[in-house]
Amino acid sequence: MAPSPLLPVPEALARILASAPHGLPSENVPLALAAGRTLAADLAARRTQPPSDVSAMDGYALIFDDIAHVPATLDVIGASSAGHGFAGEVTRGKAVRIFTGAPVPKGADTVLIQENTKVEGARVMAVENEPRGHNIRKAGLDFVAGQTLLPQGRRLGAPELALAAAMNHATLPVARKPRVALLATGDELVAPGQEPGPDQIVASNTFAVAAYAEAAGAEVIDLGIAGDTFAALEAAIKSARDAKVDVLVTVGGASVGDHDLVQTALTREGMELGFWKIAMRPGKPLMHGRLGDMRILGLPGNPVSAIVCAVLFLVPLVRALSGDPDAGRDTSAAAVLGGDLKANDSRQDYLRATLAPAGDGLPIATPFGRQDSSMLRTLADSQCLVIRPAFAPVAKAGDPCRIVRL
């Protein structure tokens, strides 16, 4: 069988990612607003954590030699709690009541947990001992001042934000959010809430595309719906350029019909076409190009096609523009098929499927029987896409497969 003349999916993604510079300009944002952002510079600790030896348990700070043989009774000479350390020094025969997180007093080398003691007024009896140095977190156990802990390109999730706060950073240098403009096209479209005419449908694609773009870290600008005229399309393109967006995403109108004007309109405005049509299903009429500093991503009009292309191409582009060095990483996962599949043709398929756990084994991905690219309900009921490479042979239930989680 002759190879497909269409652009393979990996090459299409590589070309899209190659159009992204190495991160956008940076800005400083408050720590509380940095979730989901990407660090634009290495971040080093401004302090040592913990700043001094602290207790890991509630108990008594003492000298190990005093409890090497138990029972042993010591005088309690004070207390140390978090934020209120004991100012004196522990000497032989003495102990300090100590609480978790509190500074270990000078002279003490061990913390005896309270469960191993009996209190007798101002004295404490050790009924069991502890190894020397036990229950003490040494200064710098977590990190030391000047140590780089979060590298440039790290996306900031909840653990990273907590670490940055502990490092004593109130603001963080992050890449500017990529600006993505979305434009739905077609005379047949009306906005949700409006009454469609006899030959119209409700526009749905851009809402899903916007959600994926925002989750990836983009600032989304909705340009609305442009009708099937060059004047309407040119006005929308001008709006995107005036807004200085990084990516213009068009939905629909990129095919070859008499009413598919998007590619021609963009070309008339100066777009350099990168590619058009790829060897995948759904999503064959994907378009990519450049219009000055603005990247163009033309998604198909069929709902499932547009959304699948957003998952596979727009999300990695947004991450690349955000400075993520792993934006092009393969995010597919291993699974096993829950049903039989026929041999595939020259296009790589992305089949909507349910995903079910399988005890200790790989999850079971069961593609829906109908894969029409207009069926949003099936997509909403799916947890993953089963990847079927071009020219894949017949596959049986239980065979291994690769999936993209939704």
- Render pLDDT for 118-159 as a digit per residue (tens, 0 to 9): 999 999 999 999 899 999 999 999 999 999 999 999 999 999
Res 3: pLDDT: 46
pLDDT exceeds cutoff 60 at 1? no
| Confidence class for position 284, pLDDT limits 50, 70, 90 | very high
Res 32: pLDDT: 96
Percent of the chain topping pLDDT 90: 92
Q: Give the tens place of pLDDT for each residue, 93-119.
A: 999 999 999 999 999 999 999 999 999
Q: Which domains does the chain have, with CATH numbers?
A: 9-24+177-321 (3.40.980.10), 26-44+153-175 (3.90.105.10), 54-137 (2.170.190.11), 333-405 (2.40.340.10)
Q: Give the tens place of pLDDT for each residue, 236-261.
A: 999 999 999 999 999 997 665 545 79
What does the alpha-carbon distance between residue 19 and residue 198 come to, in Å, rounded to a whole number? 41
**Residue for token digits 């939905």?**
251
- pTM of the model as a whole: 0.86
Res 259: pLDDT: 54
Please state, rounded to an integer, the average pLDDT across all residues of the chain: 94
| Confidence class for position 391, pLDDT limits 50, 70, 90 | very high
**Residue for token digits 């399988």?**
358
What does the alpha-carbon distance between residue 200 and residue 118 come to, in Å, rounded to a whole number? 82
Question: For the ranges 10-24, 326-340, 341-355, which has the lowest average pLDDT?
Answer: 10-24
Res 256: pLDDT: 56
What's the mean pLDDT in 29-54? 96
- Give me the DSSP letters along 364-393: EEEE-S---TT-HHHHHT-SEEEEE-TT--
pLDDT exceeds cutoff 50 at 403? yes
| Confidence class for position 4, pLDDT limits 50, 70, 90 | very low
Q: Give the tens place of pLDDT for each residue, 13-29.
A: 999 999 998 767 899 99
Contact at 8 Å (CB) between 181 and 242? no
Res 351: pLDDT: 98
Residue 359: CA atoms inside 13 Å, Cβ hemisphere, count?
2
Q: Give the tens place of pLDDT for each residue, 163-198.
A: 999 999 999 999 999 999 999 999 999 999 999 999
Q: Report angle CA 139, 142, 144 to the nearest 5 degrees.
A: 65
What's the mean pLDDT in 320-346? 94
Phi and psi (nearest 5°) for 362? -70, 150
What's the mean pLDDT in 356-385? 94
Q: Give the tens place of pLDDT for each residue, 74-94.
A: 999 999 999 999 999 999 999
Res 72: pLDDT: 96
Q: Report angle CA 52, 55, 60 to the nearest 5 degrees.
A: 125
Res 23: pLDDT: 66
What does the alpha-carbon distance between residue 229 and residue 114 come to, in Å, rounded to a whole number? 80
Res 5: pLDDT: 75
**Helix or strand or coil: residue 12?**
helix
